[in-house]
C-alpha cells in the first residue's frame, strides 16, 4: 500500500497495532511528564540482569590461583613444557590470558608456582654426622626425588627457576663441602658439579627410555658404529654391542661418591 492511499475511517489495517494513545505519540513521549509505554519501561529485575550480562561480557570470572597452578602442572606432566602457555591455561579455566596476569607477572612466575611444594612432598632423609657422608647422602637424595618427578627437570633446565623448599639440599651440600675443607668458592663449584651430574644423568636416562620405546633401527649411537669404523674408532667398535648393557649397569651412589672424592681431594690439595 502506497503512502498516498488512505484507510477508511474506523478501519484497521491487517497486522497493524492498536491505535496509539496520546502518551505513545512522539509529542507525548518527548514531554517530561509523559508515562512510558509497557514495552519501553523496564522492571528493576530486568535492569539488574542486563547489568550482570554486561559485566560477564566485559570482565572474566575470578580465577582460583590454586586451580591455575594445578592446571599448569597437569599440562606439563601430561604433555610437556612446550605445551604450556598462558593462553592454554586460561582456555582450560574458561578465562582469558589477561586475567592470569592479575596473579602472575609472566610465564616464568607461573612455572615457579608449579614447582612450589614439589620438594616438600618428599620427606628429608636422616643425614649422617660425617660431612663427607652427608654430602653424598644429600646428592643421592637429590637424584632420587628428581628421578621421580622428571617434569621438574624441564623447568630447572630454563635456569634460575627453582622450588625454595628444595634449597635445603643446596645449603647442606655447601655446608658439608666447607666442613670437608673446601673454600667457599670451591664449595659452590662442588655443588654445581654435583648438580650437573644429577641433571645430566637423569636427562640421558629419560632419553634412553624414550629410545627403547622407539628403536632407532641403526641410525643412532651406538648402532651407527659399523665394522668399517673399527679402524678409526676401535674402542667404540669393540664395545658397541655391549654399550647399553654396560651403561645400564651403573650405580648412582658409587658414581657420586667418586665425584665427591675427587672434588674434596683436589680442593683440599689446592687449598
Interatomic CA distance for residues 148 and 121, integer angstroms: 11
pLDDT of residue 22: 41
Q: Cα–Cα distances in Å, from 144 out to 90, 103, 119, 166?
A: 33, 32, 11, 13
Distant-in-sequence, close-in-space partners of 227: CB < 8 Å, separation ≥ 6: 237
pLDDT bin (cut points 50, 70, 90) of residue 47 is: low
- Which grid cell is 47? 535492569
116/160: higher pLDDT: 116
237/208: higher pLDDT: 237
Interatomic CA distance for residues 234 and 18, integer angstroms: 104
pLDDT bin (cut points 50, 70, 90) of residue 49 is: low
- Which grid cell is 183? 673454600
> For the whole prediction, is pTM greater than 0.85?
no
Interatomic CA distance for residues 57 and 65, integer angstroms: 21
pLDDT at 68 over 70: yes
State whether the Cα torsion 20-26-28-32 is positive or negative: positive
Mean per-residue pLDDT over the chain, rounded = 81
27/158: higher pLDDT: 158
Interatomic CA distance for residues 255 and 78, integer angstroms: 31
Amino acid at each position: 500500500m502506497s503512502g498516498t492511499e488512505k484507510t477508511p475511517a474506523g478501519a484497521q489495517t491487517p497486522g497493524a497495532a492498536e491505535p496509539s494513545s496520546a502518551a505513545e505519540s512522539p509529542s507525548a513521549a518527548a514531554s517530561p511528564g509523559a508515562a512510558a509505554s509497557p514495552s519501553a519501561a523496564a522492571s528493576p529485575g530486568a535492569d539488574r540482569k542486563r547489568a550482570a550480562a554486561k559485566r560477564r561480557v566485559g570482565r572474566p570470572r575470578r580465577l582460583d590461583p590454586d586451580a591455575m597452578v594445578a592446571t599448569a602442572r597437569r599440562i606439563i606432566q601430561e604433555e610437556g613444557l612446550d605445551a604450556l602457555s598462558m593462553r592454554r591455561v586460561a582456555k582450560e579455566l574458561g578465562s582469558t590470558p589477561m586475567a592470569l596476569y592479575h596473579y602472575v607477572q609472566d610465564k616464568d612466575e607461573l612455572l615457579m608456582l608449579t614447582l612450589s611444594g614439589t620438594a616438600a612432598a618428599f620427606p628429608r632423609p636422616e643425614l649422617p654426622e660425617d660431612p663427607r657422608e652427608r654430602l653424598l647422602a644429600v646428592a643421592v637424595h637429590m637424584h632420587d626425588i628428581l628421578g621421580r618427578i622428571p617434569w621438574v627437570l624441564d623447568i630447572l633446565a630454563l635456569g634460575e627457576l627453582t622450588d625454595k623448599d628444595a634449597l635445603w639440599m643446596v645449603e647442606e651440600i655447601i655446608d658439608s663441602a666447607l666442613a670437608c675443607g673446601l673454600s667457599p668458592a670451591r664449595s659452590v663449584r662442588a655443588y654445581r658439579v654435583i648438580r650437573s651430574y644429577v641433571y645430566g644423568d637423569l636427562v640421558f636416562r629419560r632419553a634412553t627410555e624414550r629410545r627403547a620405546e622407539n628403536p632407532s633401527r641403526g641410525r643412532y649411537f651406538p648402532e651407527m658404529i659399523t665394522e668399517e669404523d673399527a679402524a678409526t674408532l676401535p674402542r667404540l667398535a669393540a664395545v658397541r654391542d655391549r654399550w647399553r648393557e654396560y651403561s645400564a649397569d651403573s650405580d648412582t651412589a658409587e658414581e657420586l661418591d667418586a665425584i665427591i672424592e675427587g672434588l674434596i681431594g683436589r680442593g683440599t690439595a689446592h687449598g
